[in-house]
Amino acid sequence: MRNGTKPAPSPSPEDSPEPETLSQRPRPREAAAMPANATEPTGYTRVFAVREFRAVFAAHALSLLGVVVSEIALTVLVYDLTGSPLLGALTFALGMLPYVVGGTLLSGVADRYPPRRVLVVCDAVCAGCAALMALPATPVAGLLALRCVIALVAPVFNGTRMATLTDILGDGDLFVLGRSLLRIVSQSSVLVGFGLGGVLLTVVTPRGALAITVCTFAASALLLRCGTRRRPARGSGDAALVRHSLGGARQVLGDRRVRALLLLFWVPPMFLVVPEALAAPYADEIGVGVTGVGLLMCAMPVGTIAGELYAGSALSASARARIVLPLASLTLAPLTVYAVTPGLVPALAALALAGAGSAYTLGLDRWFVDAVPEGLRGRAMTVHTAGLMTIQGVGMALAGLAAEFCAVSTVVTAAGVIGTVCCLLLVAEVRRTTESRDGADQHVTGG
């Protein structure tokens, strides 16, 4: 937990043991957002009609702002103190590396304790770490260690928040739209967060910027504490936390369908980060300068936001389900245009199109929630978050390594080709698990 204290398990008698198998999926439900006689809003408006979601949305934006600004400020601060580009880069990388540790060893926190308590404590730990970073007496080693602590609890926070959305919005279409809105905020942070952080550092010192992030994390904690209801823990267990977490991870990854869905979440982003990681050398390769680097970095997030907004507002739930597998199969195909070393405009179009293909995740979110029992959702979604961040870090590292030996255009093209083959194989596996599940359901019904 973030503040170093270990909250006691909820004694609520409503807690029930987790299901023995993942095949016992809960039936989808929708949150009662409005009175029955009211005119039902459409699209994303339905989600904002839920008061608790508005609090979660605002808290997400504030917490994300704190993370982005702290990453920039801390990277600048470490570089100023040491003059080492390696340590400066390592400071940024530490925001991703501990995800796999926290997501694997601490995922049990998301199901074992009341979700609101977990979220508030996580934000409080981030605020405490930022406050310690802002102190002039904190050495570089301490700064790096505190950065690791924030990254360690991040997957627990994100996984718990994802699971909490099913409590607030139900596990039907409202959940899908709510998840989509949170992803849009995250993608938007790529576009405006770093620019805002850079402007902030022209006004205050890096430690001053870190002090500001203390306020954003604290405000997020306050919103979650006052704006959401207290709910009991989803699961229970007497096992040690690490064993409980590892057991949940084994249960999640051991189920064929859940594993296939997770890989379909993880694999496309692993390859999509390649052109972003190599934006600077590719801009140099085609001679477009620093402005080109910024545009290449922004193109994919713009496409992602546009695709999510269209799928969430213009498509029905059944239509979003129908496009999952075709879109997942083709989302990496636009990267193959790098085979002809395109200029800036064609490259931007290809990246935006690849980003728009990420809209397949809206339908996939619904499938994933339906496949995971309620008592396991916190751990499953924490594993999902940790795996997603880790595999993107792996993709960036492999892209950089490959670019040491091959032209950037060749590396991005290879990512498009290999990634598409991997996605086609995963799509086939998801189809097989769907047919297997439907066959089992028919057998039970017919019996």
- Determine contact, residues 194/265, Cβ cutoff 8 Å: no
User: What counts of helices (H) and strands (E) characterise the chain?
Assistant: 18, 0
Spatial CA neighbour of 375 closest among 117, 17, 119: 17
pLDDT at residue 6 is higher than 60: no
Q: Are 427 and 328 in contact (CB under 8 A)?
A: yes
Flag whether pLDDT at 67 surpasses 90: no
pLDDT tens digits for range 405-421? 888 899 999 999 999 99
Buried b / exposed e along 379-392 (16+ C-beta atoms within 10 A):
bbbbbbbbbbbbbb
- Does residue 29 have a pLDDT over 80? no
Q: Once rounded to an integer, what is the mean pLDDT over residues 99-113?
A: 75
Q: What is the pLDDT of residue 373?
A: 83
DSSP string, 316-334: -HHHHHHHHHHHHHHTTGG
Nearest to 182 by CA among 168, 199, 194: 168
Q: 426 with 267: CB under 8 angstroms?
A: yes
Radius of gyration of the chain (CA): 22
The pLDDT of 76-90, averaged and rounded, is: 74
Tokens matching residue 367 = 């499938």
Question: What is the model's pLDDT at position 236?
Answer: 65
Residue 438 is which amino acid? D
Predicted confidence (pLDDT) per residue in 344-360, tens digit: 899 999 999 999 999 99
Give dist(CA 155, CA 126) in Å, integer.
13
Residue 423 tokens, joined = 């996605």
- Overall pTM > 0.85: no
The string of DSSP codes covering 182-217 is HHHHHHHHHHHHHHHHHHHTTTS-HHHHHHHHHHHH
Which backbone phi and psi does 76 adopt, to 5 degrees? -65, -40
* Predicted local distance difference test score (pLDDT) of residue 14: 36
Residue 375 above 80 pLDDT? no
pLDDT at 255 over 80: yes
Min mean pLDDT across 16-25, 143-152, 328-337, 381-390 is at 16-25
Q: Which DSSP string do the residues of 97-121 spell out, in sequence order?
A: TTHHHHHHHSTTHHHHS-HHHHHHH
> Mean pLDDT score of the chain, rounded to an integer?
80
Distance CA 143, CA 127 (A): 14
Over residues 28-50, the mean pLDDT reads 57
Rounded Cα–Cα distance for residues 363 and 307 (Å): 13
Confidence of residue 268 (pLDDT cuts 50, 70, 90): very high
Q: For 190-213, what is each residue's pLDDT tens digit?
A: 677 666 666 777 778 888 888 888
Lowest mean pLDDT among 43-52, 85-94, 176-185: 85-94
Across residues 130-147, what is the average pLDDT?
89
Residue 88: pLDDT band (50, 70, 90) is low
CB atoms within 10 A of CB 43: 13
Is 420 or 176 the better-scoring residue by pLDDT?
420
Of 325, 221, 271, 248, the closest CA to residue 18 belongs to: 248
